[in-house]
Structure 1
Amino acid sequence: MTLHASYAKRCLDALNQHYVELDTARLVVAFYCLSSIDVLDQLGQRIKEKDKDQWKNWIWDQQIPTDYGTGFRPGPSVAVTLGETNHSVKFHPYDLPHTIMTFSAIISLAILGDELSRLDIGGIRKFIGGVQQPDGSFWTIPNFGESDLRSTYSVFALCSLLDCWDAIDADQALTFIRQCRTYEGGYGQRPHTEAQGGTTFCALASLALCPRSPGLSENERKATTRWLVERQVGGFQGRTEKAADACYSFWCGASLKILNADEFADKEANASFLLTCQSKFGGFGKCPGEYPDPYHTYMSFAALSLLPSQSSETESLGVLRPIDPILNATLKTAEHLRRAVHSIKRTL
């Protein structure tokens, strides 16, 4: 197992006290760890089957049916225990599914090779349809939470994977995406906010996923490409005049890939920056000198897979699996996921 895969495996087993604040998002942390092992092509070689089964069962434990539909909660720390005297109550109003966590859970299960036979597709349809707001955006949880392009992307990805576009008002959601576009050519989290690399990816990936999307005009594509290319300062920055951050090598690099404009990225400069973000103990930090974390570790590998360098310095990382830039998963995982969902829907 490579040094970096060992780091991801350690993070799956246990995290130190510095990560306590992420306990309410444990499922997405697991997603980043599993995705790192997946892109490094180490899952089948060194991970024991009993560990895979344990991880799959833990993820399935986060799927919860509610009156609002079915989805996955962020982790057990946000679960609400009803107690032995409340067996007649189907769910607690504060124990709710989350759009981003639901997408992360399904990808994670696909990485582990699960056939998704326990996936409540009908319940997920109800859930994502119920969190859409009049402006076209989506709450992260029913009747509450943030509503920006991150949740829009997660819902669009679920609609694409589960083929349930009729569960939402796609046209109104596309209107919301258009309203998030800025004069620079990037996209903010919500209308009238500053353009960011991550939310620009969410917008472009959503437009690519939706069959009702007209896409960008040629002038819009050029403006967005220019804005993305201007974010490269060795690595990529997330916003104008900010320092480079390893995660934006993926967010901006994948955005350029979606636009078929990745030839404008300086792949060698990007790889050189990312290599300086490595830790000698495994993993990548957000910038040189920072401690590694699961998020920046996976995003660095995903970026290097999408924007491969010809430098011999990257050879020590091994051969990386190719990434689907729209779903942010390896092609192998994306293909398994679509095949599994197709098999489920045939039996419904």
Structure 2
Amino acid sequence: MNRFSEPLPSLARPAHISHAKHALARLPGSLVDLDASRMAIVFYCIGTLDLLGVLQDQTSETERASWRNWIWEQYAIGRYGTGFKPGPFMSTTSTNSGHDSPHIIMTYTALLSLSMLRDDFSRLNRPGLLRFVSSCQNRDGSFSNTPNGGGDSDLRNLYSAFCICSMLGDWSSIDVECAIAFVASCRTYEGGYGQLPSCEAQGGTTYLALAALHLAPPGPRPRLSTAEKAKSEHWLVHNQDPASGGFRGRTGKAPDVCYCFWGGAALRILGAHDKINAYAFTQFIAACQFPFGGIAKAPGQPPDVYHTYLSLAAAAMYAPRLELSARAYGQWEFGPFNPLLNAREETVRWARSHIPARRF
């Protein structure tokens, strides 16, 4: 038997489902530092259930309604428009006064989470959301994570802004070409992209840059030249570790399962996903599973919701390409995945049909 058709280790679906549902209910005290990113945690957990195809079947309507309500409790209305906060922070109850500043990354994750939960978005103030995204753009084309230049300004925020505009189907509130110029300024000699101009290329920021370029509406010239595309492909392909099959995030670093998503999704966007070893790639993800649920950054490490979601998203793109015998009788089967918005195609369709302003 060809070793690339040998069955993979089983994907521990029930354990990963339990891991995500437990994290939605409570996190251990050791993870209190994540409290300021609670909206992202919700996204990773709900996203894991959505990727595994159990969100509607193995959770109750009461649970889904409570998660929707919690997300909307973080909806902030202020002088710069409307969006979503990271969470209520250290309070045991919601402290949303209606005038807190929203966060652009958390707004992107909230919109996708609500789409996974099949919210009708009747509470969404679309003009206010566009005003908020506009308020986060800086003169150099970059975006801050909060309005009027607040917080960090890097490719994470730019990607989130592009996702929001794409889901709304409205790019009128931002200067797209100025933003594209900022993305170009983050490109390195290797063909990857750094967090900011003059920073080292990383797998995560390279994904963000390439996804943003492909989400953007058509411009006066191609977003990537043929030579630039080839160089990015070359750098990404050579970030797959030949020994383990995993991806490294930077040149010369150890592989990390989250970069299986960042690198793998970037190659999918470029149409070069057939240039890597998909069997070894998926085998590395399988090796990072924790026996009692969740997936770790590397074999033998403790799991977390971030690496669990991203590794399953990576598997959703590449495991279906393997021979049926290698997928261990359906254990590694997933629905179609959208690498640009980072969600299942079914969820993206819901977002694109319900988030834009209704036209009668």
How far apart in 1 are the matches of 2:292 and 2:272?
35
Secondary structure at 1:191's aligned position in 2? coil
Query: How far does residue 316 in structure 1 lie from its aligned partner after superposition?
Result: 6.7
| TM value normalised by structure 1 | 0.93
8 Å contact kept, 1:249–1:270: yes
The answer to whether residue 164 in structure 2 is matched with residue 152 in structure 1 is: no
How far apart in 1 are the matches of 2:355 and 2:116?
14
Secondary structure at 2:145's aligned position in 1? coil
8 Å contact kept, 1:39–1:322: no
Runs of 4+ in 1 over 3 A off after TM superposition: 309-318
Secondary structure at 1:106's aligned position in 2? helix
The answer to whether residue 282 in structure 2 is matched with residue 268 in structure 1 is: no
Query: How far does residue 44 in structure 1 lie from its aligned partner after superposition?
Result: 1.4
Distance verdict in 2 for CA 1:100–1:208, change over 3 Å: same
Unmatched runs of 5 consecutive residues or more in structure 1: 84-88
Identify the residue that residue 279 of structure 1 maps to in structure 2: 290
Listed one character per residue, the Cα deviations across residues 218-240 of structure 1 (whole Å, up to 9, x for unaligned) are: 10010000000010001000000
8 Å contact kept, 1:198–1:252: yes
Aligned pair partner of 1:32 in 23, 44, 47: 44
Residue 172 of structure 2 aligns to which amino acid in structure 1?
Answer: D
Aligned pair partner of 2:344 in 330, 335, 343: 330
Query: How far does residue 216 in structure 1 lie from its aligned partner after superposition?
Result: 0.9
Alignment map for 1:144-183 (pairs within 5 Å): 144-183=150-189
Identify the residue that residue 86 of structure 2 maps to in structure 1: 74
The answer to whether residue 30 in structure 2 is matched with residue 15 in structure 1 is: no
The answer to whether residue 124 in structure 2 is matched with residue 113 in structure 1 is: no
Identify the residue that residue 51 of structure 1 maps to in structure 2: 63
**Larger relative contact order, structure 1 or 2 (CA cutoff 8 Å, min sep 6):** 2
Identify the residue that residue 232 of structure 2 maps to in structure 1: 224
RMSD value, Cα: 1.8
How far apart in 2 are the matches of 1:13 and 1:149?
31
Listed one character per residue, the Cα deviations across residues 264-310 of structure 1 (whole Å, up to 9, x for unaligned) are: 01111111111110011011000011111111001111101111143
Listed one character per residue, the Cα deviations across residues 103-136 of structure 1 (whole Å, up to 9, x for unaligned) are: 0000000000111111111111111101111110
The answer to whether residue 249 in structure 2 is matched with residue 235 in structure 1 is: no
Distance verdict in 2 for CA 1:275–1:12, change over 3 Å: same
8 Å contact kept, 1:271–1:314: no
Query: How far does residue 319 in structure 1 lie from its aligned partner after superposition?
Result: 2.2
Query: How far does residue 45 in structure 1 lie from its aligned partner after superposition?
Result: 1.2
Identify the residue that residue 6 of structure 2 maps to in structure 1: none
Higher helix proportion: 1
Query: How far does residue 212 in structure 1 lie from its aligned partner after superposition?
Result: 3.4
Query: How far does residue 341 in structure 1 lie from its aligned partner after superposition?
Result: 2.2
8 Å contact kept, 1:170–1:212: no
